[in-house]
Structure formats: structure tokens, C-alpha cells
Copies of this chain bind each other. A is one copy, B any other.
Amino acid sequence: MEKPYILISNDDGIAARGLNFLVETLRPHADLLVVAPDGPRSGMSMSITSRDPLRYSKVEETEGLTRYKTSGTPADCIKMAVNRFITRRPDLIIGGINHGDNSSVNAHYSGTMGVAIEGALQGYPSVAFSLCNIHPDADFTPMAPYLVDLTFKAIAMGIPAMTCLNINFPDGGHYNGVKVCRMANSRWVNEIVACRHPHGGEYFWLGGECEELEPEAEDTDRWALAHGYVAITPTTLDVTAYGLMDVMRSLL
């Protein structure tokens, strides 16, 4: 029987440990196509490259594993892959493993979720894997059995059109289980950090803290992660606020 064919990208770039751990973990079980940015593209969300040309190069072609790097964003990588590089229909598209937490509102900024959302927009079952540890040398080892299990479940169950899965792993290496969650509401505050250049003049970094807006709610991804569970947040690409439509009609 043919192995599943899985397309992998990320936002930390082709050299990132998280991506390469995912590749090594899935390699015995699947034929892999990796199409990843040639450097870090964190926080790029669903960004696409419209004003610059895109370039790519093939960096590996071995039995069951082909890798390309591109000059583009995570979403660009998926567009290039499905238009030019795939050799058959992928059974799954995976973003990750991201170095850092993509739960709650972070999903909106995440290039790893950009991979999964673009994959789903292109019509393929898609998931994002993230570990809540932003360190470049984070230890991904304990995730391995969950990655294989969840990858094959995602393929078997067939993720519906216009949805994808946002899967976050708590840091620490011990998991109490897997929980299906909703996205927690939270808010970034104090985000602009001012610094002074040695030659004078101010510049700014994005920083800040993420404030929980519903820390008591037990059905959120944030709660699951805080309590040691792997959090699966099924995510819709149809972002219509259906509950608001009639209200708005009556007010216009």
C-alpha cells in the first residue's frame, strides 16, 4: 500500500529544529514534501508576497523525502507547492512544529496557522502543530507518538472543507491527554517597547504580555494547555459572524 503523502511547511524556516523533528518523526510512515521559507517568517499570518518576485531551490531529494526552500512566506510556500511541486494529491498539509504557542488569539498572527489555513483554502486537509516553547533548542521528543497518532487520525477522519486544526502542545514533556477546545479570548497589552539607538533616536520592538480574558473557562485551548493537555482547536476559515447577521440587518 502506498504511504500517505504529506506536505510540510512552517514559519521558523527550513533549518528550524521543530520542522526537522517533525520530518524525522513522520518519515518512516509517509512520503514527505517539505516546502519551507529560507529563513524565519514568524508572525507573518496569512501574508502573501505581492510586490517581490518569489524564488526557490531544491535542497534535498531522497527516497520518500523532497525538500525545497523558498524566498516566500508560509502561505506562499503552500501556493508554490500545490501549483508546482506536488507529485500527487497530498493526504495532509502540516504547518510546524512551531517554536511557540499558537493558541487563542495568537492563531491570528501565526505563520504556522498560515500554512494550515492556506492548505485548507487550497482544498486539502490541514493541521498546525505548535509547542509552547519559543526556544530554538526546545525539546520536541515527547511529542513524537502524539504527532504520529494525530497525523494519521487527521488523515483518516477527513477534516471538512473550510476548516483546519490548530494543535498546541504544552511545554514540559508530560501530557495528561488530548482535549478538543474552543479558542480562548485573550488580549496582548503593553506591546510597544521603546529603545534608544546608540547614535540617538528611538526605535521600538513588539513585546508585551498576553492577558487572559476568561481564565476560569474550562473549555478553552488556554485552559487545556495550562492543565497539561494537548489542545486541539478546530478552526473555521468561514469567518462570517453568523450570529450578528440578523442584528445588523435590523440596525442598517
Contacts and interface: CB of A to CB of B under 8 A. Distances in A.
Interface in A220-247: 232-242, 244-245
A55 B44 CA distance: 19
A190 B83 contact: yes
A245 B234 contact: yes
A65 interface: no
Interface string A133-162: 000000000000000000001000100111
Given A45-B75, A48-B206, 16 more contacts: A45-B48, A46-B46, A48-B109, A53-B195, A53-B204, A54-B204, A56-B204, A83-B190, A163-B241, A180-B249, A180-B252, A182-B240, A233-B240, A234-B241, A234-B248, A236-B244
A46 B190 CA distance: 18
A58 interface: no
A49 B53 contact: no
Given A47-B43, A192-B83, A236-B241, A54 B107 contact: no
B55 A203 contact: yes
Interface in A167-184: 178, 180, 182-183
Interface stretch (A14-22, A26-34, A88-96, A115-123): A115-123
A62 interface: no
A38 interface: no
A84 interface: yes
A26 to B, nearest CB: 19
A180 B239 contact: no
Contact of A206 (B54, B157, B185): B54
B54 A43 contact: no
A42 interface: yes
A182 to B, nearest CB: 4
A1 interface: no
A212 interface: no
A83 B191 contact: yes
A123 B188 CA distance: 10
A50 interface: yes
A100 to B, nearest CB: 10
